[in-house]
Structure 1
Amino acid sequence: MKTVMLLAGFFILASQNPLEMQKDKKLIVKEIEHKGAASLKEVSTLLEEQTELNSIGVLNWEAFAYAPKVQFRIARNKNDIWLKYYVTEDNILAKHTDTNSAVSKDSCVEFFFDPLGNGNYYNFEINCIGTIHLAYGSGRNDRKYVDPMVIQKYIKAESSLGNRPFAEKTGGHTWEMTIVISAEAMTHNKGISLKGLSSKSNFYKCGDDTSQKHYITWNPIKTAKPDYHRPEYFGDLVFE
């Protein structure tokens, strides 16, 4: 049964004990073994077969009460992160096709990742047709874009909606996104090994320019206004 909590100017819609929701969440990222390079189709299948679903469903800000249904799976294969998002929302939008463009204005899923847990993080933002935005830094105003050539080489994404832009579509839609992120894409942590890594992270869904602007998170964020660039509110991500 869902409950609503009012805490210091924000609220959380939860399906579990409210006291538990106040704690940072923790995910153990399972290792999936696969010989050779896996296709995105194989990645999708292996994630389905070997990992559990996690929910992105925390509403932190009362002014933005719309909550699409969003879930994800995550695993590690060698030195790659495998992700799959599942989204059901009323309206979808995909205008941005250029790497490092403002994809958060579209129907967008995001993975913010602080590999060393030191406050410096990557914001992997991917709209619903697979356009990628990636930068690194310690906060919203301290971002360094990752070279688009690096992004194209070391990150692969495939959406069930295809890769062509479109104006907003209403009436209810369901889509999936499979993503492979090589550690080589993390150019500010050269040589990093994911195996056994204890890190910090948060997972998001947003859509700034959709008719129902929304901001939902995996781990709660305790700010007065929507702000995903808050590593102090990341949960724990531990890689096998």
Structure 2
Amino acid sequence: MSKQINCQFISPENEDNAAIFLNNYPKEKLNNLLWSENGYFPEVSFSMAYTSSSILLKYWVTENYAEARHTQVNDLVYKDSCVEFFISFDNGANYYNLEFNCIGTPYAAYGACNPGRVTLPADVIEQFKIFVKTESFENESLSKWELVLDIPFSAFIYDDIKSLKGVICMGNFYKCGDETTVPHYLSWNNIVNPVPNFHLPEFFGTISFK
């Protein structure tokens, strides 16, 4: 069954406290462990809201050995400890994939399913506001990190978004680490596919902007 998230509006007077709002908002879990034979299952949740000009998203991650080697915009951050957000404004025909490693390095692209996707220009991605908080536990093998994103509508350059009120989109949320010590793949809405692949819009859930 496809999942749905109801994304609430934050009024202008509360936009400066968006991170606090997200902390207190109900969290969704990435509770589908995919393509795994080792059973490694990081704990990941997120909350989401929107303003008059942007989408707000926060991830909470607890995992073993958080790793980040990629530091430049549009580096292949999915190879690191990474969270991802895919969203489509045209019912899955085309979608944006926004990916961030545990130090906040971003990657973003747009298009239909692979191949044929195009990366977003660096000056567009630099419009994202990205905040990262990290914490190491006593044994130093268990890491906890948080990622807060403020993504302006203007960054969705292939869509003319003036407001999201009442809009219903398709999308999914992920955690991965293709080249980490223990490779892993998690999703919010389940994916049924024999090999690792997040680029399957037929498995997107529903994002409803209230």
- TM-score, length-scaled by structure 2: 0.93
Query: Aligned to 1:55, which of 29, 40, 45?
Result: 29
1:158 paired with 2:127, answer no
In our comparison, the structure showing a higher alpha carbon Rg is 1
The equivalences for 1:166-177 within 5 A come to 171-177=141-147
Which AA in structure 2 matches 1:145?
T
Shift of 1:36: 8.0
1:75 paired residue number: 49
Q: Quick check: 1:141 aligned with 2:115?
A: yes
Structure 2 residue aligned with 1:34, among 2, 12, 25? 12
CA distance in 2, matches of 1:205, 1:118: 20
Give CA-to-partner distance per residue, 1:153-200, whole Å, 9 cap, x none: 2x11111139xxxxxx96111111110111110001124531111100
Of the three residues 109, 125, 132, the one matched with 2:99 is 125
| Letter matched to residue 159 of structure 1 | V
Among 45, 67, 79, the alignment partner of 1:105 is 79
| Alpha-carbon distance in 2 for matches of 1:172, 1:218 | 22
User: What percentage of residue pairs aligned between the two structures are identical?
Assistant: 36
Q: TM-score, normalised by structure 1?
A: 0.82
SS in 1 for 2:22: helix
- Please state whether the residue corresponding to 2:126 is helix, strand or coil: helix
Contact 1:119 1:232 in 2 (8 A): no
Pick one of 184, 187, 202 that aligns with 1:214.
184
Match for residue 114 of structure 1 among 72, 88, 98 = 88
Provide the rounded CA distance (Å) in 1 between the counterparts of 2:209 and 2:100: 22
> Equivalent residue of 2:74, what SS?
coil
Which runs of 5 or more residues in structure 2 are unaligned? Answer: none
Q: Structure 1 unaligned runs (5+)? A: 1-22, 163-168
Quote the RMSD (CA, aligned, Å): 1.7
CA gap 1:203/1:26 in 2 versus in 1, 3 angstroms: same
On the 8 A contact 1:107/1:210 being kept in 2, the answer is yes
From 189, 194, 214, the equivalent of 2:164 is 194
Structure 1 SS opposite 2:117: strand
Distance 1:123 1:99, change over 3 A: same
Task: Give the secondary structure class of the aligned counterpart of 2:171.
Answer: strand
1:179 and 2:159 aligned: no
Q: 1:193 to 1:116 in 2, by over 3 A?
A: farther
- In the alignment, which residue of structure 1 is the partner of 2:63? 89
Cα deviation code 1:56-106 (max 9, x no counterpart): 120132436321000001001113110110000011111111111101111
Question: Equivalent of 2:18, from 43, 46, 52?
Answer: 43
**C-alpha distance after superposition, 1:185-223 (max 9, x if no partner):** 000112453111110010000011111100000000010
Whichever residue aligns with residue 12 of structure 2, its letter is H
Q: 1:191 to 1:236 in 2, by over 3 A?
A: closer
- Aligned 8 A contact 1:159 1:177 in 2: yes
Describe the SS at the equivalent of 2:123. Answer: helix
